[in-house]
Amino acid sequence: MEEEVRRKKAGRRKRARDRIVLPDLFILGALFALMIIGAVMIYSTTSYTTDLNNQSQFLKKQLIAELLGLGIIGFIYLMPYEFIRWFGSKRIRVVMLAGALSTVFLLMTPLGKSVNGATRWIVLGPLQVQPAEIVKIAILVYIAGFIAEKKDYINTKKGFFHALAVTGLSAGLVYKISNNLSSALIIGGIGVLMIFSATKDWARQIIGYSIILVAGVWFMMAKAHSAQAAGEVENLKFRYKRILIWEDPTNPDFYYEGAFQTLQGLYAIGSGGVFGKGIGKGIQKLDKIPEVHNDMIYSAICEEMGLVGAAVVLLLLGTMVLRCFYLALRARDTYGMLLCTGVMLHIAIQTILNVMVVTNTMPNTGVSLPFISYGGSSVLFLMAEVGLVLRVARNSSR
């Protein structure tokens, strides 16, 4: 009799584990709203150049990427949670990260494609993929699995520097081969902050990271100012020039060196006012702001939707970040908690960097606005990360 009762209870528990519950509506609601705003703004910012130059339909490509992304979310959401955990196992996560980093080396082969002087994409038939996006999700899963498997090890010097070295190697490789500083910063930020969230010695880490950050910024600014004082600005690398442009974008010497994009973006932000000029009625997008449908799309949002629209976009992104944080706290295991934390950090870091660049709060570097900027690779892998968060939430709801 008791054995039969135990079997019935075990059966009920199994059915509870396997049941399909509704995905987190806060995450999905914010995601769909961001996708709609992104599609509208991509159409608005590219309609002029598409008609003028007979270019490919940006909106069509973005919608295809978003539909594929929704399919990926559904696929991950329906996966058994044990399979999600399997990706974080030692052998699999190492193979995954090594595979992701190997795609970066493909940029040095004929598969690499250069756009505006930067080789950051690989072309596989009709597909065009940015390896940096693959590395972002790979480092996220690797660090989550590493810490979950060795909870005490990460609090030792050896474990801490092991995780930090993997993060630094991944970010450095992306930067060295693709010359993509923004993606390297995001990869490094995801890894470092995930390690920080899982370790105990917070005070020493904060001091150490602050010293490294301040020293790096001081070195770059000192070199840029030294060259400017000596009249050797022309010999500076473009990253150092961007510091001078950031400090004085109205300097006519820098107008065609990168200040043009910054100034036109600021004009767009300032001219939008509180409620904006209206969708499709922006002026700065008319062949004045380079990459307005991508890195600078937030300036077009400010111009056409005003302060209210810009605030709504940040509110939606903030909702996703805070919801990821909440779901991380509710996760049933360390691995799920860290996956949600990593996705939260990715969205937050990329959003902050994009808005800071567009508003000239930091030197210009190419960063897309999550779920809004044009870019199939970014959308697909970000939505895959959202799928991981939803799957962790489903596991926590039972």
Please report, in tens digits, the pLDDT of each residue of the chain (398 residues total).
566 656 666 655 555 554 556 778 899 999 999 999 999 999 888 877 665 554 557 888 899 999 999 999 999 999 999 999 998 888 899 999 999 999 999 888 888 887 766 778 888 777 788 899 999 999 999 999 999 987 888 988 899 999 999 999 999 999 999 888 889 999 999 999 999 988 888 888 888 889 998 998 898 888 888 877 777 777 677 778 888 888 888 887 777 667 888 888 888 998 888 998 988 888 888 777 877 888 899 999 999 999 999 999 999 999 999 999 999 999 999 999 999 999 999 999 999 999 999 999 988 888 899 999 998 889 999 999 999 999 999 988 76
| pLDDT at residue number 168 | 94
- Alpha helix stretches (DSSP H) within 19-116: 25-53, 58-78, 81-87, 90-105
Whose tokens are 């001081």? That residue is: 218
The residue ranges of every structural domain in the chain are: 25-87+243-398, 90-200
| pLDDT at residue number 50 | 61
| pLDDT at residue number 161 | 92
What is the tens place of the pLDDT at every residue in 135-144?
999 999 999 9
E strands, the chain, in order = 112-115, 118-124, 127-129
DSSP tag of 124? E
Q: If we measure between CA atoms, which residue out of 148, 161, 146, 141 comes closest to residue 201? A: 161
| pLDDT at residue number 240 | 80
How many whole angstroms separate alpha carbon 110 and alpha carbon 1? 70
| pLDDT at residue number 46 | 85
| pLDDT at residue number 53 | 54
* CB contact at 8 A, 173 and 104: yes
Record the tokens describing residue 266, joined without a space.
């600021």
How many whole angstroms separate alpha carbon 381 and alpha carbon 137? 7
Q: Supply the pTM of this predicted model.
A: 0.90
